[in-house]
Chains A and B, each alone.
Chain A
Amino acid sequence: MKLILSTSNIMKGGRPVIRLPLTQKSNVELIISLRSNFIASQQIDSNGSTNGNANGSHSIRQDYRSWTTEQDGALYIPAIDFSHPGLSEERDQYDITVKLFYLPGIPMSRRCAHTREAIDLVLKELHVKSIDLLIVSFPGILFDADDDSEDEEASLNGEPDDFDSMVQTWRVLESLHEQGMIAQLGVAEFGSERLARFLPHTQVKPSVDQINLKDCCVVPKSLILYAKQEKIQLLTHNDCNDILPVGTTRELLGPTEQGAGILASAPQAEDGIQGDVEPQWVVKYTAVVKDRGVVENKGYFALADVGPCVKDRA
């Protein structure tokens, strides 16, 4: 079974985002805003009122079926009302940026479907037909500002993406671009060498390379020059490389005090869904009012598979 986790609009969602130590590369924003959205949804259901304090514990455990919904084989956590208008003004007032995180250890063969799935959810959520910029983040690539060499150490959860699979994934994105669904494409954490290797294999060049730098004043000169020459915009971000590890996902959905009570508490228990959890992808979307620089809507979707032996399903 698929689990579709969502944060709703985190700009209007209380206090999820802010208290990150500034230097910490962190997925805290995603985790906290998922958790607070789960809690808020449960509280609405239980007493018909809301509570701004998303950090409080909830003493009476709600049956997860009361605040989630199942549709077409997917469990929406929490339930989403897609009829709610996503944006308050006309489409052309916005810059919509979407960043798709392919997660480590997930077979390349699923990427086509995952990409469609993720984009479709965002389009449905924002009530738009297209997005302005899609940035894809491949697992295992780390940008190192000090020597401009990409660190391709395998992360704990999987192998780094090999070059061919990145190129193949790019084909999928190019076809979405062709269909008019995505205006511009971008990559994340590419150094100048990787860019130089990658560009010849693309029909639609990435127009953005997004890099995570604690101190963005130390971008390697080679990258700056190369990006300028290829007309690739270097943007900054503050996302975590391993944005949704398996353990974190289990904790989020699990039966403990901190969890949402989606997953069963014991192998035979009937208080939740049985089986292993495997996060597949995470997508972040941001809608910014262009001429005013106001972030009107920002949120995440994450998709996880759950069930017996999910790892074996191809």
Chain B
Amino acid sequence: MGLLALGTALEWPEAKKKAGQVRQWGIEQLLANWRRARGKERDVLLWGDEVEYLVVAFDDTAKKSRLSLAQADILKSLARDEALWKSGGSRNGDNGEHDGEEPPHFHPEFGRFMLEATPGSPWGIGFKDLLKVESNMKWRREIAKAHMAPNESPLTLTTFPRLGTKDDYIQPYYPPSGPALRSQFVPDEIANPHIRFPTLAANIRSRRGRKVELNVPVFKDLNTPSPFKDPSVDYDLHIWPEDDDVRNGAAKDDHVYMDAMAFGMGSCCLQITFQAKNMTEGRRLYDQLSPLGPVLLALTAATPIYKGFLVDTDVRWNQISGAVDDRTPEELGEAPLKNDRWRIPKSRYASNSTYISQDPRLRKEYLDPDLVVDEDIKKRLIEGGMDDLLATHFAHLFIRDPLVIFSEDLEELDLDKDNHFENLQSTNWQHMRFKPPPSGSDIGWRVEFRPMEIQITDFENAAFSIFIVLITRAILSFDLNFYIPIPLTTENMETAHARNAVLDKKFYFRKDPFPRRVPRTPQQSTNGSTFSSATSSAVNTPPPSPPLGPVDTEYELMSISDIINGGPDGLFPGLIPLVESYLNSVNVDVETRCFLASYLDLIRKRADGTLWTGARWIREFVAKHPSYKHDSVVSEEITYDLVKAVEELTAKEGRNGSVGWELLRGKKN
């Protein structure tokens, strides 16, 4: 989660006064960095995955499972070992399988019950590297587990089913209603104690003028009361002014209500970052991957429970969006604009709103008509030499206020750093992120793909990571074009939330992803040699293209299976066939191809419904649990059995009819 520099963090009223300065300095840092790095060329493909874990503690005698707040201890212990490895000591739990691989890195996350792990060094495109991803993920999990208490386990669930309930779902236990979050459900101690995190949460709340507000529609089962009024909401709490929120209607009927950043930022995701060849390629990948975001969100759906209730959505996305939504009533359009500068249609955490590639295929009709841009910042960037598209992108990100400002950083502007730029950049959590090279490093231009939900097993996480990598290679090789108007991607993102969207919903997607054919053999004469004299000008000037049709003829509504596997009669060939076709064009050894086939098979079958999503499996698990009363309530007992099953699934991966075979194998044997 960005920089963790220490310092004196400003509280909101102070931070607000400095927001303009931070933005201005951030833009100057961006310009300086952009000038240094824009000519960076020929960087190789390097990529990395980020896997996030919940640390779950089991109490087998009481049949209880809790979130463990042991992050700091675990990280300390991991750091000691990493230091030991570096000094040549033996590796914990290593049987030589990972010789030559750098030990993985572990990072803190917002939730004190979370861990993040990344490979020790980035992956390349050497196909042998792709084979290491899954085993490296398993290795990370083993190492993490080895540094936990014996009854603790790192699980890759997006959310803990009973986070925020009235029971003691965390250990050690702390009561809710602390000064930073002011949540009636979770204590301040749920967040990483590093000053950055409580400040982030508190300043989002202060800027909003009330607590964040998450209302997720409840899943209406046979015995669910109707209307459903979230029974865990306390309307008589009078500790903080924000306790009035619920009395002012914050908790909606038929919804599960949550009131703190931890309900969103406490979710685990699977994120992939690529290094592009140069800025141009990075901008292209940013644009082309953007329409895939909602598709991969629906395909990885794994979040059907919040605060002890089955909900009617399958994914985490909007909850995180709401959990860090710092918009004021004026910005939200709930009050007339008086003090704020503009209405802002999306949260800081949302689907992305810009296309940035200087691609002739990018039609202006694709751009977001509601895009809010800070025109002064855009002007400054253009004066500084940046092109209009990229200037628009950053001037859009910079409509936000910096949330965590350290007073020490305001003394002097250092153009060789990017702390002020990153302050804004890294708190714009869009589903794609375009990352300039960090100053003072030889890292290239990067693109981060952020929408995917973490999967329960490392096999699935490796499969989705590698799938995305292969798609980027297919995009570049076939010069694919996935452009659709940005508002449709925004709409698709909403669509992806629906229960079982992966099978039941349709998504806007471009029908024909192929480039228009530009042959290189124009003829000069009716019959004669064209070899000798046919040179530059005629060859290099493409013949005039036929006029483009209306934008709305370029896309249609497709099922996830059509998009992934190809439609029965549609134009769109399917992402998997595209990837297969790419693989048929490169030299892949037999063993690698076999691995890749098993990964692609998982995705193909998730899309066509042969295999279940995590969300569906969890729903079915709850529905079939003997103590489930069909009232949407996921009790402590069910939760204990569920996370136990998840732990078993992580280890056995549904082999031989073991739990969760529906997710991975499709048949019991």
Binding site for B on A (CB under 8 A): 8-9, 11-15, 17-20, 22, 36-37, 40-41, 44-45, 48-52, 54, 63, 65-67, 69, 71, 78-84, 89, 93, 95, 97, 133, 208, 211, 213, 215-217, 219, 224, 233-238, 286, 288, 291-296, 298
Contacts and interface: CB of A to CB of B under 8 A. Distances in A.
Query: Contact size class for B?
Result: 35 or more
A84 to B, nearest CB: 5
Contacts of B494: none
A292 B512 contact: no
A213 B590 contact: yes
B335 to A, nearest CB: 50
8 contacts: A8-B521, A44-B521, A69-B529, A80-B531, A81-B539, A236-B593, A292-B125, A295-B582
B240 interface: no
A19 B594 contact: no
B223 interface: no
Contact of B527 (A18, A66, A208, A236): A66
Given A36-B517, A37-B519, A296-B477, A82 B587 contact: no
Interface string B574-586: 0001101110111
B44 A288 contact: no
B577 A41 contact: no
B518 interface: yes
B515 interface: yes
Given A238-B584, A296-B477, A78 B515 contact: no
B480 to A, nearest CB: 10
A186 to B, nearest CB: 9
A235 B597 CA distance: 14
B573 A19 contact: yes
A286 B531 contact: no
Contacts of B589: 233-236
B581 A12 contact: no
Contact of B584 (A12, A44, A95, A237): A237
A216 B597 contact: yes
Given A12-B518, A286-B585, A292-B45, A71 B597 contact: no
Interface of B: 42, 44-45, 124-125, 277, 473, 476-479, 512, 514-523, 526-531, 534-535, 539, 542-546, 566, 573, 577-578, 580-582, 584-591, 593-594, 597-598
A188 B587 CA distance: 13
Contacts of B594: 216-217
Contacts of B543: 44, 48-50
Contacts of B476: 292, 294
Given A19-B573, A217-B597, A293-B586, 14 more contacts: A11-B479, A18-B577, A40-B517, A40-B519, A41-B523, A45-B523, A49-B545, A50-B543, A66-B523, A71-B529, A81-B521, A97-B587, A216-B594, A236-B590
A41 to B, nearest CB: 5
A69 B532 CA distance: 12
A79 B523 contact: yes
Contacts of A49: 543-546
A113 B514 CA distance: 37
B581 A291 contact: no
Nearest to B528: A69
A279 B566 CA distance: 34
B529 A78 contact: no
A216 B598 CA distance: 11
Nearest to B586: A288
A11 B546 CA distance: 21
Contact of A71 (B277, B479, B531, B542): B531
A295 B472 CA distance: 12
B546 A17 contact: no
A13 B585 contact: no
A22 B125 contact: no
Nearest to B546: A49
Q: Which of B478, B515, B519, B544 has the most CB of A within 10 A?
A: B519
Nearest to B531: A82
A15 B587 contact: no
A216 B531 CA distance: 43
Contacts of A65: 526-527
A295 B523 contact: no
A227 to B, nearest CB: 9
Nearest to B124: A291
Contacts of A69: 527-531
B124 to A, nearest CB: 7
Nearest to A68: B527
The 6 closest A-B pairs by CB, nearest first: A293-B125, A291-B44, A295-B477, A14-B517, A18-B573, A52-B516
Nearest to A209: B590
Nearest to A37: B519
A67 B514 contact: no
B478 A11 contact: yes
Nearest to A208: B587
A95 B517 contact: no
B276 to A, nearest CB: 9
Contact of A18 (B517, B581, B597): B581
Contacts of A295: 473, 477, 582, 585-586
A177 B34 CA distance: 46
A291 B520 contact: no
A83 B521 contact: no
A50 B520 CA distance: 11
B477 A294 contact: yes
Contacts of A80: 521, 531
Contacts of A50: 516-519, 542-543, 545-546
Contacts of A20: 577, 581
Given A15-B512, A19-B573, A213-B590, A84 B520 contact: yes
B519 A8 contact: yes
A44 to B, nearest CB: 5
Contacts of A9: 520
B567 to A, nearest CB: 10
A15 B514 contact: yes
B521 A79 contact: yes
Q: Which of A18, A48, A50 has the most CB of B within 10 A?
A: A18
A66 B526 contact: yes
A13 B238 CA distance: 68
B144 to A, nearest CB: 30
A45 B573 CA distance: 30
A55 to B, nearest CB: 11
Nearest to A218: B594
B201 to A, nearest CB: 40
B566 A14 contact: no
Contacts of A48: 543-544
A81 B535 CA distance: 8
A12 B515 contact: yes
A45 B538 CA distance: 13
B585 A298 contact: yes
B595 to A, nearest CB: 9
Contacts of B478: 11, 17
Nearest to A83: B535
A80 B539 CA distance: 11
A233 B128 CA distance: 13
Contacts of B588: 235-236
Contacts of A81: 520-522, 530-531, 534, 539
Q: Which of A66, A238, A295 has the most CB of B within 10 A?
A: A295
A216 B573 CA distance: 23
A296 B523 CA distance: 24
A234 B582 contact: no
B539 A294 contact: no
Contact of A67 (B523, B534, B581, B582): B523
Contacts of B521: 8, 41, 44, 67, 78-81
Contacts of A51: 517, 546
A118 B143 CA distance: 54
Contacts of A83: 531, 534-535, 539
Q: Which of A51, A233, A293 has the most CB of B within 10 A?
A: A293
Contacts of A233: 589
A215 B527 contact: no
